[in-house]
Structure 1
Amino acid sequence: MTIPRAMLIGFAGLLLAALTVAQERSPQPPPPPLIYSAPSDADLVEFSDPSGSFKATFPGRPTEVVHNSGSIQERHYTVVRSGSMTRVIVLEFQDTIESRSSEILGNLRKNVSSLTRNPPKELGENPGKITVETVSEINGQTFDLLGYESTMFFTHLAFHITGKKLYVISTDVTNWHILKQFHPKIVNNFNSEADRFLRSFAIAK
């Protein structure tokens, strides 16, 4: 049994809402810029989700949030560090979605700006752009990879669909406008950490 088209359209909206992180508003002056630092070996935590769906080595102990919305279950595993956020989201449906992979991934790409953190609205419109788009095989699984750049954030995203599940793996960094202009070494460290995290990710057989 495949998911009806109407459900897929609803699913796309649900995913976009699930991945959007609201920015806090404050009447106080903004805090000093957060400058990214890569995790040390001591920070790394090997983690398997309670259902045994995947394992990955996070840059810290992830928090888990579970949402149930009709026939879809969302499980979020997130680590927030100074200047960055690492996250795995697992969306599980009642029926297989593999036959709709191209359509789902196309919707995700089209709305990629809604899949990433955005600056406060007080800063005005902030159009971003996809700067990386490729496909890679990691640990025997094929992932669609996107890199999305906005003024304040850069986000590495990886998508994988198998059976009833969609996996979204993301690593971002804040104050991108500062880092890319003045801190090329930190940019390299961030990219290396994003790659390390993705390569640590493995779906249970």
Structure 2
Amino acid sequence: MTADGETGAATVERHKLYEDVLAILTGTLIVSLGVVIYSKAVLLTGSTAGLALLLQYATGTSFWLMFSLVNLPFYILAIKRLGWLFTLRTFLAVSLVSLFSRLTAQWVEFARLEPIYAAVVGGGLMGMGLLVLFRHRTGLGGINILAIYLQEKSGIRAGYFQLAVDLAILSAAFFVLPPANLMLSVVGATVVNMMLAINHKPGRYVGVT
């Protein structure tokens, strides 16, 4: 209610350019730290980051390179379905995660890292970083883009497709990771999704870009 008793309409304030830039830098730095923790503990997450980690464990190729490569085919879909602006933001975010994950591994060294701690804290960091990016209309590409495309093209629910892909990645990990690491990866994935489910709800944040 306004001071004179009338109901005032909520004013939505758009994000400024510098706010978007700072958010993308902050979000990708946080995600990168989570990825480095997972890589050190030999854990797995979902989506393209999980696929890149799985390929790293299976082939010995660095995460930053695999993450960049697995995202490349999806940019065409992003341009067609989500527009140039979203695609550029996504490309920037993916590139920064690739860069920061490589640099963070040089900046931070863990003498000892308990796997359960890595699963919870690493998952929490990735969830927080994704939350920052989502609130500035930025994603980390790949599977999310394909999920949106298939939902529009074939009516396949994006959430179900994303879940199926994550399950496929975890299933493939049976041949790469020890069972204990696989179970902890499930714990970490739960932390990531809970972080987003609790904090990324319609109406709780109205800033737009």
Q: TM-score, normalised by structure 2?
A: 0.28
Higher relative contact order (CA 8 A, sep 6+): 2
Which structure carries more helix by proportion? 2
Q: Larger radius of gyration, structure 1 or 2?
A: 2
